[in-house]
Structure 1
Amino acid sequence: MSDTPIRLPDAVTVEAVLAGLDPASAGQDLAPALSDAFPGFAFSTAAVDDFYWRDARTVLAADGARLGDHRAWVERELAAHDGDLAAFWNRYRDSGLCFTEWRGTAAFGFAPTGPGVADFVQLSFGREIEVLAGPVVDPSYRPWSADDLLEPSWVQREPVTDAPVLAGPVFRLQRRSGLIHMRSFLATRQRLEREEREVRRPELEARATQEVGRDYMKETPFLKLNPEWFDLVPREVRMFQDWQRSSASAQRIFEHWAFDIKDYQEQGRRKLSFIPRPLKMPAERLLGEEGGSIHRLMERIEAVDAEAGLSFAWFFLMTHGHWVDPDIGHAIADGLRAGRVRLLDRDARVLLDWTDNRYIF
């Protein structure tokens, strides 16, 4: 065994790796380059169909010369026309000046750090190209405000476009939560939830629920009715716990899911969450059918698992809240309780616990 200490991934080195990629082969080179930069870590990468565009535009002259940042150029030229929008529009509607725009989709990198379900590093990127978006003004309609010029809406923005590509693809590490260790993330998410609930303890200790009958009225303390209120497990943590408890744990969670991290401040408190993103979309949604056969439902969830190449995949697609209707889970749970269908014991326990305390992303 080598005595060389393992170097943990860090954002500065990751950004240096990204800057050194050749755009012509960036997609193929990304995982090997990250693995080379951090010996001891075996990175894999995956893309997610999550199209976006950035407010990072450049004005381009007809001869291809770059005239600078789009916003700064518009503000400068508008000031030169004394803020006269009509004069600005007449000056540039046939000028041949265009603007470029960076557009992209989400991409993720993963590297295991241990055997546990949450023992991995996740990197969150944007995979971006710079395109020739369109003219600097809408040639057909005069702008009514400066915002019409600064936020151009007259160009088509679609994942598949005929717009000429000027640069890229390049990868950009997200500014916030671009690099996380999932086990640490989940621990922090649990801690923040607990702290936020503790702040409300005095209020909840003083709260009571009124129960009124024909001949009586009584009050029951809120915390007596909700003794586990301070021990709530966030849905992000529950998803990983359910994966570990279920037959899905035979495979690594990051081979099937990426996690869109949200990390922000609200009213002076840090908020932390994620939205899970399936790395392989099912061919079609699995929706509940009025009066449908429970045995037909079982055939359909087995087909979902086979398509995903993962046992119990349908359950996690259901908690995602889009690909599998939650009514499917409740129908199968009812079938389990009635002894009409069967799941693996560990999967049955997870599903029944979910129906008792449901979570959806």
Structure 2
Amino acid sequence: MNAAPLRLPDAGSIEAVAAALDPASVDDDLVPALARAFSGFEFSMARIDDDYWRDTRSVIRPDGTRLGELRPWMMAELAKDGGDTNALWLRLKETDLQITEWRGTSAFVFAPTGPAAADYIQIALGREIEWRAGPIVNPDYRPFGEEELFDPSWPRRDQLPETDRLAGPVYRLLNRAGGAFVHIRSFLERCGRSERDRREAKRPEMERRVIREVGPDGVRDTPFLDVVPDWFDYVPREIRFFQDWEQSSASKHRVFAHWALDIRDTTYKGEREIGFIPRPLRPPKARLLPTPDASVHLLMDRIEAVDRELGLPFGWFFLMTHGHWVDPDVGLAIAEGFRTQRVRLPDRDARVLLRWADRTYGF
């Protein structure tokens, strides 16, 4: 008898699971609750320190009584003063009313769906806490316009005391431009299909395009596709990232054990934009930059140190494709050192690195 198919998570069910959790134990309870709701999946979670602020604010009294959301409440109060922001400011600064704000950090939940590098799901969440942020208006400076009342800038941005915590932590599904809940293999298929469709739509234009060269024998026009015959076979960087992972020493590890993907799938001015930016879950303590006096052997020592710090063979390469922690020039220098037989790499890693050096990509 065939086993029942796994029930894939969906946005509504994920939000319902998160909303039912007790803030006092939510960090410990989230993954077990998801496992109960979606049996058959082995969930794990990683949090990233990337502070953000939601644009949702409330108006409260000192005792915590809520009067409403800031913008509609402020608009109603402004109407009472005939739209006079100065009069409203003078009135409100004499009150003890306060505003709240939600501060959050990103969290990612993962679950494998198969053995390949892209066989997993990713859920992008925000771990959010509501805080007592400050007075309803800045008592020291009158506002230049109503937007300063609707979108205040005076609340503190430093760490707030626990006595100012009002609610949370809660986990909320983030609206990451189509990337809140993603099956990665399906996403990569969409990514490749979108790029093929985009390039195929330009076929008539590309078949007409020529590269004009002026030489001693006059002007010569060469068809663009004769110069770039593989233009229609372009592989997006997102797909190459996973191909390189599977074909390198990193393949012994799961991608999601080391990286979260900041995914987008949107349409802008009639053209689809689909892709991701990889974010390391545990970035190295220091950046690796090339220096004029650094030999390729020294660079090899340094990338091996990066791999040990990450606990990931060939991990330096994937940090390099991001570009912030390992400079791409490091990869080019090591590729050249390998070509000239000054350094050695495992065969599979060498193939990946040389392919990248011939046609670089980065995020």
- TM-score between the two structures when normalised by the length of structure 2: 0.96
Match of 2:266 among 264, 267, 288: 264
| Post-superposition CA distance 1:108-130 (Å, at most 9, x none) | 00000000110001101111110
1:182-331 map, 5 Å: 182-331=184-333
* 2:114 maps to 1:140: no
Report the equivalent of 1:161: 160
Report the equivalent of 2:335: 333
**d(CA) in 2 for partners of 1:21 and 1:59?**
25
Report the equivalent of 2:50: 50
* 2:19 maps to 1:22: no
Report the equivalent of 1:344: 346
How far did 1:215 drift? Answer: 2.6
**d(CA) in 1 for partners of 2:38 and 2:2?**
14
**d(CA) in 2 for partners of 1:13 and 1:28?**
19
How far did 1:161 drift? Answer: 3.4
How far did 1:4 drift? Answer: 3.9
After superposition, the Cα gap between the structure-2 partners of 1:348 and 1:3, relative to the gap in structure 1 and judged at 3 Å, is: closer
Report the equivalent of 1:120: 120
The amino acid across from 1:359 in the alignment is: Y
How far did 1:48 drift? Answer: 1.4
| Post-superposition CA distance 1:167-194 (Å, at most 9, x none) | 1110111233211100000000000011
| Post-superposition CA distance 1:265-306 (Å, at most 9, x none) | 111232111110100011111111112121111111111000
**d(CA) in 2 for partners of 1:2 and 1:212?**
68
SS in 2 for 1:343: coil
Report the equivalent of 2:174: 174
How far did 1:15 drift? Answer: 1.2
SS in 2 for 1:154: coil
**d(CA) in 1 for partners of 2:233 and 2:315?**
28
SS in 2 for 1:55: coil
| Post-superposition CA distance 1:44-89 (Å, at most 9, x none) | 0001122111111100113321000100011111111111111111
How far did 1:146 drift? Answer: 0.8
SS in 2 for 1:180: strand
**d(CA) in 2 for partners of 1:279 and 1:94?**
47
The amino acid across from 1:184 in the alignment is: S
**d(CA) in 2 for partners of 1:135 and 1:252?**
47
* 2:104 maps to 1:104: yes
| Post-superposition CA distance 1:2-55 (Å, at most 9, x none) | 844422222222111101111111111111111111111000000112211111
* 2:116 maps to 1:129: no
**d(CA) in 1 for partners of 2:218 and 2:169?**
71
**d(CA) in 1 for partners of 2:31 and 2:51?**
21
The amino acid across from 2:294 in the alignment is: G
The amino acid across from 1:18 in the alignment is: A
**d(CA) in 1 for partners of 2:3 and 2:355?**
46
RMSD: 1.3
| Post-superposition CA distance 1:133-172 (Å, at most 9, x none) | 11111111100111111111112224x4337111111011
The amino acid across from 1:55 in the alignment is: D
Contact preservation (8 Å) 1:48, 1:277: no
Contact preservation (8 Å) 1:62, 1:97: yes
Report the equivalent of 1:83: 83
How far did 1:94 drift? Answer: 2.9
After superposition, the Cα gap between the structure-2 partners of 1:214 and 1:161, relative to the gap in structure 1 and judged at 3 Å, is: farther
Aligned residues: 360
5+ long unaligned stretches in structure 1: none
The amino acid across from 1:294 in the alignment is: V
SS in 2 for 1:56: coil
- TM-score between the two structures when normalised by the length of structure 1: 0.97
**d(CA) in 2 for partners of 1:189 and 1:323?**
26
Report the equivalent of 1:74: 74
